[in-house]
Amino acid sequence: MGANLRRSMSSLNKKFPRLLPEPIRKGMKVADLIDASFKAYNGGRLAEACRLFTQKMIAGNGTVGMSLTGALTPAGLGRAAIVPLMKAGFVDWIISTGANLYHDLHYGLGMKLFAGSPFLNDVDLRRDGVIRIYDVLFDYDVLLDTDAFVRKAIQGPEFQHTMATDEFHYLLGKYVYEREKKLGIEQTSVLSAAYEYGVPIFTSSPGDSSIGMNVAAMALRDSKLFIDVNRDVNQTAAIVYAAKSSGSTSSVFILGGGSPKNFILQTEPQIQEVLGIAEKGHDYFIQVTDARPDTGGLSGATPGEAVSWGKVDPEKLPDTVVCYADTTIALPILTAYALATHGPRKQKRLYDRRDEMVKKLAREYRKVRERA
Amino acid sequence: MGANLRRSMSSLNKKFPRLLPEPIRKGMKVADLIDASFKAYNGGRLAEACRLFTQKMIAGNGTVGMSLTGALTPAGLGRAAIVPLMKAGFVDWIISTGANLYHDLHYGLGMKLFAGSPFLNDVDLRRDGVIRIYDVLFDYDVLLDTDAFVRKAIQGPEFQHTMATDEFHYLLGKYVYEREKKLGIEQTSVLSAAYEYGVPIFTSSPGDSSIGMNVAAMALRDSKLFIDVNRDVNQTAAIVYAAKSSGSTSSVFILGGGSPKNFILQTEPQIQEVLGIAEKGHDYFIQVTDARPDTGGLSGATPGEAVSWGKVDPEKLPDTVVCYADTTIALPILTAYALATHGPRKQKRLYDRRDEMVKKLAREYRKVRERA
Amino acid sequence: MGANLRRSMSSLNKKFPRLLPEPIRKGMKVADLIDASFKAYNGGRLAEACRLFTQKMIAGNGTVGMSLTGALTPAGLGRAAIVPLMKAGFVDWIISTGANLYHDLHYGLGMKLFAGSPFLNDVDLRRDGVIRIYDVLFDYDVLLDTDAFVRKAIQGPEFQHTMATDEFHYLLGKYVYEREKKLGIEQTSVLSAAYEYGVPIFTSSPGDSSIGMNVAAMALRDSKLFIDVNRDVNQTAAIVYAAKSSGSTSSVFILGGGSPKNFILQTEPQIQEVLGIAEKGHDYFIQVTDARPDTGGLSGATPGEAVSWGKVDPEKLPDTVVCYADTTIALPILTAYALATHGPRKQKRLYDRRDEMVKKLAREYRKVRERA
Amino acid sequence: MGANLRRSMSSLNKKFPRLLPEPIRKGMKVADLIDASFKAYNGGRLAEACRLFTQKMIAGNGTVGMSLTGALTPAGLGRAAIVPLMKAGFVDWIISTGANLYHDLHYGLGMKLFAGSPFLNDVDLRRDGVIRIYDVLFDYDVLLDTDAFVRKAIQGPEFQHTMATDEFHYLLGKYVYEREKKLGIEQTSVLSAAYEYGVPIFTSSPGDSSIGMNVAAMALRDSKLFIDVNRDVNQTAAIVYAAKSSGSTSSVFILGGGSPKNFILQTEPQIQEVLGIAEKGHDYFIQVTDARPDTGGLSGATPGEAVSWGKVDPEKLPDTVVCYADTTIALPILTAYALATHGPRKQKRLYDRRDEMVKKLAREYRKVRERA
């Protein structure tokens, strides 16, 4: 080649914006910094995620589901970012690991966590009764006291039946909310805020965390509390179906990956492939993760791959962003950006409509089966 | 400094082996190559994992639990490696994502998957009815037919009650086993082999996969199949407690991370912290993962961190290995190494002792409570 | 265990700050957001890096060296962040890959780069004469015209001798500076700013980039321009030695890893191990990278490992931070933080003292050899 | 959708092989294990790399360049894998970091390295005079004695002029080769084997390593040894041009990434873009790395991106493989595979033709300029 490529005239300027950031100045606000200087690589992706979230996902009253994995609440991001997002009406429903909800309890119960270091000697820590989550430290008593709180709460009569995790977390959140009030603290716990704002919180692995462990221990006594996994599967699909069938949008905001990522995405195959109801897939997709596509897990699977499964609407593939970054960096930034550039929305209180939504889905499924 | 460090005489030669590998030769067997040339970095860790597995974990009849995440069965590693390990009696119980079990069904039902490419156009694939898992491809019909198989199977009378996932997978595995026999194929499915060898398989997120989705859909009809998550939590703790309280060892072999990693490790805090029974932690620990400690999830949490929680016995910390590598590379190598250097063990058939083990744990818990 | 760990009283509160972030609010400035909500994991590390840079590295007139790898200037971070840091007197000397300097030229010469996408078809791009650096796009002409600029510049008489890369980049920077003036643009190019502020820029791999390629091509004609690698090695060690021997501090701010990381760190072993001059190692160390320690390269080697080599003062190990994050995210944030919380420093203009510094080092080496 | 996707008949079976691996058996040889069970994800990529290397790169007498980054020789992979590959005639020229060549000297000089651990206390190690490279340990004396060897060798008269790095390494390799003979060891050092087999070894960053540091120190005395970087750039391009212009193939086998990756790839833009000679790009491309495309460095840039630069022939894009794996795992496997499945080739001894090749390139450049 050589000669024939020379002096070609491309039309780049018609398709893409020029990349010429402004110099960073003293005293910039977060949104200005993002828009001015985050232009390429994962910095560029983070800026795109900020704009996709603000300009499309929460615009027009679309329904936003968020999935939580990784040590977000231990890192203080429940209080710093997730609660403010719920309060602003920017997150309508949540799938979380059990661990994020269990450690959220420490905050809601006024217990103390400490900003430590990842380089401590764990044998010493074990001897001294100190628990470590990477660089977050707390006393072993925090576990024991939180366990005791859970065991006491779930002995209440309202817990003595089989229920889905959104109901379980709502009931538990009420106890946390009341404890917060009593302690004079507020806006500290995701579970408490979810109760207050009617945000349904599910977990895809109900036995996998100290909450589930305590529920299981009580079942060795005489507890009647059992989790209805089937209802979780159908309830989450019902939330997505309610949004889509009403002409609104359904968006997923995925922090990390893991089982919650699959659980939030499988709502669409549940509707289409299993229940046989015509649907097209989620509209908008943001994932913040360190998991690359090649490493074998769904955590790193791309929105493109999700299109092949019908999880994401093929026509909306351009409206998907994967940002490879630590959520402890990306989530505060996106939260600050969204709060700065979009006014609060009225909370949807999807929890209040849970029976109605799942009935609608069941009705539609019956229709499909009768047609078949 | 400079001068004062010069000519110091260290005692490295007394503490560590010399690093001087043999040149690689034509026709080496796998175990020879590993022992001869895998000396440092993750190569060194993989060699250590091979030896830890063979010389300690499966030595002396210790109990070995394996957790599966990432697309192992889609990549063919069920048939290539996991079934051979079960057949050799090297894996006694399993925690798996639902996805690994769902895609295992395709193999057991004689369906066709293809070795494709990660660089295909997903919008085209969607149009053509092709499903992609990274570089594994198959027809949309594979999903529909597998779904139909699951839905048909679980309408059987033996499924019409609430059960733990090990029982559910055992019952389902029987159907797969019979289908394999009918098709004249064998040693192809993890679920089938688990049924044959009495290896209990749990999933920590029972609703999170197409299996769980179909179970949930049937619950919208008139199915009586519900999952007892509490029993899973207690049953897995009971397996570990049975091993440890009988003077044997309990080892974990973690492929990937995710919820199954936490679920296999939380057995020890369930025994110690929640049930209050004296125990020290797992004895041996191997993890093959790409998740680093700093990225926020339990997937990357180190054995050291697990010590601070009582998940791993502090005195056994030197007997832990984390190898940062693709399981699609590490698992075949470790399997080949173990089969080459250790004779088969008699299968423990832990499934047959499930009631007995959980009763023992419940009895011990009662004793602890009475003492308190 | 169990019982014996219960109710232990730890002294965490005396050693570590409580982890209780403030909720993110509308309109926060960057430094407030960092201090308020970046508490753990890599978010915590980034906050620590911001404070280490501002409160220790640039405090007290310490000397700060920066190493650049990865596509920083293509991503616009020359103009957005590096030039502002130099202008504020926060970066005193630089080791860069050749690529970062070559692509910096496009900005200094007023050429156009575009914010594109990483998902384009490269065979099409090649056909259309478009060059791609991940998601940054530009015309093939940009390369040809930049090459022509370099070839023309280095035919000047001031280039016709053997020189170190700091001199080469200074001379080239003068041409860029003049071109900027002519075009009426400013603060756009790292090379130009380095010339203006007397910041020496070295490259550890002088032949490895289009700049080096053009220099080599001219050597096939009759150019007398050769690079004196030895001078680079000694000059960089001399900068560090000048700082340390005058009682000041020497800090490294490492963006990425690679050869520039080693080159900036090897200054200390050059002083101690090779030249035999008593020294203790760099004082402060920040690295922003995605390279983990286990993956085999110096890119991921920890400050601890550097201590074992004498590269970092063992007593200063607590003053080292590694943040695993994209530099396209971390660098703008750290720049904004530093500009917001520390007033500008007078530029050190180390370039003007290059002969003096290297002579001092040579003199010291002679003394050591005479003593031996 | 739903209905319209059902029962579509795809033609996957015509385009892709069925994914149905054989069960792993006792006593398998390495190549059998790879071909039988490495089917997808990075396992699949590693198998593809093994076959691409053996069936295309070293078939038909093609020229193979290898780039080395990361701690390969410290990990013993010089002796284990790289020397056997050179001896078998499978690697014709090399770009290496200086560090890999410096640490290779320890082996060639019969010094002792030890297989240690990454979890040691570096402050203690520093005090005890122990050097750590991740989990490889050795005495500080190993550095001092290697330094002394280098300084002594380069005082020889044959070193007293300006030379390219291939000549420098050849001359140094002769000393190592002779030392090996004297010590009665063999096949231990890459530098020695390169001398013996006429394999040119370049480094892209000649000052960046203890070799370069000692060369620089001697320049502070009266050494006349200077590195001609320009010759390196042109010599490497000349090797590629000699292969391609003679109708043969040019392949790159990239271990890690970094500056050596760029240096081996820039040979094609040097030919095409800078010298203006018609060429199409490298034919075959294997990279083993942990660097993902999104993280900002050329280390992670894909073969596709290289196509947009003309570094890789667009028509050969299907013949490129990137395997995300530790080189300490992948390199021994690929070496064992190649030695098992391909007979040795006669060494090309490209070093002996260095003047001839660079003259041919210069001649061609002159022609192009005269035509212009």
d(CA C193, CA C258): 24
Q: What pLDDT score does C298 carry?
A: 87
Distance between B141 CA and the closest CA of chain A, angstroms? 10
User: How far separated are the first and last CA of chain A, in Å rounded?
Assistant: 60
Any chains having at least 3 CB pairs less than 8 A from chain D are A, B, C
Chain A residues in contact with C328 by the CB 8 A cut-off are 38-44
Q: What pLDDT score does D3 carry?
A: 39
Residues 6 or more apart whose Cβ sits within 8 Å of residue C22: A80, C36, C37
Chain A residues in contact with B227 by the CB 8 A cut-off are 229-230
C-beta atoms of D1 and A279 within 8 A: yes
**SS3 (DSSP) at D338:** helix
C-beta atoms of B272 and C296 within 8 A: no
Distance between A262 CA and the closest CA of chain C, angstroms? 24
User: How far separated are the first and last CA of chain D, in Å rounded?
Assistant: 60
Which one of B15, B41, B305 would you mutate to disrupt binding with D, by most D Cβ within 10 Å of its Cβ?
Answer: B41
E runs forming strands in chain C? 63-68, 93-96, 114-115, 130-133, 136-139, 162-163, 201-202, 226-227, 250-255, 284-289, 320-324
Of A42, A273, A280, the CB nearest to D294: A42
Q: What pLDDT score does C11 carry?
A: 86
Residues 6 or more apart whose Cβ sits within 8 Å of residue D183: D109, D110
d(CA A33, CA A21): 10
Chain A residues in contact with C25 by the CB 8 A cut-off are 84, 339
Answer yes or no: is pLDDT of D300 > 70.
yes
Are B197 and B161 spatial neighbours (Cβ–Cβ below 8 Å)? no
Please indicate whether residue B311 is annotated as part of the active site.
Answer: yes
Chain C residues in contact with D134 by the CB 8 A cut-off are 293-294, 296, 301, 305
C-beta atoms of C324 and B272 within 8 A: no
Are D252 and D282 spatial neighbours (Cβ–Cβ below 8 Å)? yes
Q: Which residue of A has its CA nearest to D278?
A: A1
Closest CA to A227 of C193, B164, C231: B164
Catalytic residue among D311, D316, D346, D348: D311
B251-286 residue pLDDT tens = 999 999 999 999 999 999 999 999 999 999 999 999
Chain D residues in contact with A45 by the CB 8 A cut-off are 294
Chain D residues in contact with A372 by the CB 8 A cut-off are none
B64-92 residue pLDDT tens = 999 999 999 999 999 999 999 999 999 99
Q: Residue type for A340, please? A: A
Which one of B329, B331, B345 would you mutate to disrupt binding with D, by most D Cβ within 10 Å of its Cβ?
Answer: B329
Cβ contacts from B onto D, under 8 A: 259
Q: Check residues D299 and C217 and name the one with the higher pLDDT.
A: C217
Q: Residue type for A321, please? A: V
Binding-site residues on chain A for chain D (CB distance < 8 A): 1-3, 5, 41-42, 45, 272-273, 276-280, 292, 294-296, 310, 324
Catalytic residue among A244, A261, A311, A348: A311
Name the token pair of B148: 């139909």
d(CA C273, CA C268): 8
Any chains having at least 3 CB pairs less than 8 A from chain C are A, B, D
CA angle C271, C275, C276 (to 5 degrees): 90
pTM above 0.90, yes or no: yes
Chain A residues in contact with B232 by the CB 8 A cut-off are 207, 216
Mean per-residue pLDDT, B47-64: 96
pLDDT, mean over chain A: 95
D195-217 residue pLDDT tens = 999 999 999 999 999 999 999 99
Which one of D1, D9, D10 would you mutate to disrupt binding with B, by most B Cβ within 10 Å of its Cβ?
Answer: D10
A280-289 residue pLDDT tens = 999 999 999 9
Q: What pLDDT score does B4 carry?
A: 43
| DSSP classification of residue D312 | B
User: How far separated are the first and last CA of chain C, in Å rounded?
Assistant: 60
Q: Check residues D22 and D8 and name the one with the higher pLDDT.
A: D22
C-beta atoms of A295 and D1 within 8 A: no
Q: What pLDDT score does D298 carry?
A: 87
Are A292 and A310 spatial neighbours (Cβ–Cβ below 8 Å)? no
Per-residue b or e along A253-263, where b marks 16 or more CB atoms closer than 10 Å to that residue's CB: bbbbbbbbbbb
Distance between C99 CA and the closest CA of chain B, angstroms? 28
- Rounded to the nearest 5 percent, the helix, strand and coil shares of chain C are 55, 15, 30
Q: Which residue of C has its CA nearest to B274?
A: C2
B199-250 residue pLDDT tens = 999 999 999 999 999 999 999 999 999 999 999 999 999 999 999 999 999 9
C-beta atoms of C308 and D130 within 8 A: yes
In this prediction, residue D323 has a pLDDT band, given cuts at 50, 70 and 90, of very high
Q: Are strands A226-227 and A162-163 parallel, antiparallel or unpaired?
A: parallel
d(CA D339, CA B357): 51
pLDDT, mean over chain D: 95
CA angle B215, B297, B300 (to 5 degrees): 110
Of A41, A272, A296, the CB nearest to D1: A272
Chain B residues in contact with C280 by the CB 8 A cut-off are 1
Are C259 and D208 spatial neighbours (Cβ–Cβ below 8 Å)? yes
Q: In sequence order, what are the beta bridge partners of A139?
A: A130
C-beta atoms of C40 and A135 within 8 A: yes
Residue in the block written with tokens 């450049």: D365
Are D73 and D101 spatial neighbours (Cβ–Cβ below 8 Å)? yes
d(CA B44, CA D42): 19
Q: What pLDDT score does D9 carry?
A: 53
Q: Which residue of A has its CA nearest to C70?
A: A41
Q: How many residues does chain D have?
A: 372
- State the alpha helices, DSSP H only, in chain A: 12-15, 30-37, 41-52, 77, 83-87, 98-108, 122-128, 140-153, 165-183, 190-197, 210-220, 229-245, 258-265, 267-269, 303-308, 327-341, 354-371
**pLDDT tens digits in sequence order for chain C, 372 residues long:** 333 444 445 789 999 999 999 999 999 999 999 999 999 999 999 999 999 999 999 998 999 999 999 999 999 999 999 999 999 999 999 999 999 999 999 999 999 999 999 999 999 999 999 999 999 999 999 999 999 999 999 999 999 999 999 999 999 999 999 999 999 998 999 999 999 999 999 999 999 999 999 999 999 999 999 999 999 999 999 999 999 999 999 999 999 999 999 999 999 999 999 999 999 999 999 999 999 999 888 889 999 999 999 999 999 888 999 999 999 999 999 999 999 999 999 999 999 999 999 999 999 999 999 998
Distance between A332 CA and the closest CA of chain D, angstroms? 21
Helices (H) and strands (E) in chain A, counts: 17, 11
Of C123, C229, C361, the CB nearest to D207: C229
In this prediction, residue A1 has a pLDDT band, given cuts at 50, 70 and 90, of very low
Distance between A22 CA and the closest CA of chain B, angstroms? 31
Residue in the block written with tokens 């010069």: B6
Distance between A303 CA and the closest CA of chain D, angstroms? 16
Mean per-residue pLDDT, B121-138: 95
C-beta atoms of A80 and C36 within 8 A: yes
Of B99, B258, B308, the CB nearest to A126: B308
Distance between A145 CA and the closest CA of chain B, angstroms? 11
